[in-house]
Amino acid sequence: MKWQDRRLLDLFGVEHPILQAPMAGVTSPQMAIATSEAGGLGSIAAAMLTPEGTRQEIQMVKQGTGRPFNINFFVNKPPAVDAARDARWRQRLAPYYDELGLPPDAKGASRAAFDASFCDLLLEFRPKVASFHFGLPDRALMKRLQAAKILVISSATTAEEARWLEGEGADAVIAQGAEAGGHRGMFQVDDIARQAGTMALVPQVVDAVKVPVIAAGGIGDGRGIAAALALGAAGAQIGTAFMLTPEAKTTPLHRVALKQANDNSTTLTNVFTGRPARGIVNRIIREIGPMSADAPAFPLAAEATQPMRGPAEAKGSTDFTPLWSGQAPTLAREMPAGELVAAMVRETEAALSRMRG
């Protein structure tokens, strides 16, 4: 296909303006390789990886493809520990711990935010793109990435956040509509009730910044990509549509939940990690969420909720599993990631042809 808007193609060195979203715990090196080999921009999600784990995934991707790819990090600031709030949270979860036979002090792993050690890794491997969630790294780290000619992109959930990202040196902005699965990229606002949807957000972000805008949220096929391009976006980032591919690390229970989900199945919740994230409604969301004032700040809430997941899943239950999904789960397809990219390119061309008449 001949794309009229070449801004992302030329910036990233890709054939198609399709970014495979970095989904922590779901994306794999194989998914990134397949997407990049198909002409899109594959991504590694490092938000739940150690530097050594990230190194291993980068090495696998570099062995599998010589094409550009992206590595994504969270840049959350470490929260102040609030002992009283943590105690309230554990008290709220205590009946579930009893039900699952967990010791009251069980603790899950914490997430590592982007820091100098991760920056060193990027400088060592020099990926084409580094993407960030919840803002950008501090200026000293940004300068190191820019000096190494690594392109930096990040998510914005408002036009004001997009302007800030551009002002801090982002090479492109991901306009993340409220429909998107997983964590909201919000970092200047905290009221989820006022978050704009993709159709409303994208044109306002396009008007607000000069850098290319990548639409994200609820886009799962070529119709959505064509709509994003019509709104002025230079491309689209797609997540949930990849979650049923064989390359995805989506667990069997999560796959079943996705196949059973529809447009009315998801909500924004903070009960799993302490930050708003979109997932399929399950027992813990119904009973203590979707938004709980007791949940400690990200990522501390997860230290108490993570231990419940394993024992429940061992019994075939997703009562305490974060079933991340965007609002268009029915668009997810069980086909190899590379074939999915090719299908979306064909669908986009067909949709644009229909629009031209």
What pLDDT does residue 110 have?
A: 76
Q: What is the pLDDT of residue 9?
A: 98
- pLDDT tens digits in sequence order for the chain, 357 residues long: 899 999 999 999 999 999 999 999 999 999 999 999 999 999 999 999 999 999 999 999 999 999 999 999 999 888 888 999 999 999 999 999 999 999 999 999 877 799 999 999 999 999 999 999 999 999 999 999 999 999 999 999 999 999 999 999 999 999 999 999 999 999 999 999 999 999 999 999 999 999 999 999 999 999 999 999 999 999 999 999 999 999 999 999 999 999 999 999 999 999 999 999 999 999 999 999 999 999 999 999 999 999 999 999 999 999 999 999 999 999 999 999 999 999 999 999 999 999 887
pLDDT for the residue numbered 80: 86
pTM of the shown model: 0.97
Max CA-CA distance within the chain? Answer: 64
* Domains, the chain, ordered by start: 7-76+111-250+340-356 (3.20.20.70), 81-109+266-324 (no CATH)
User: pLDDT value at position 218?
Assistant: 98
Cβ atoms of residues 15 and 35 within 8 Å: no
pLDDT at 66: 98
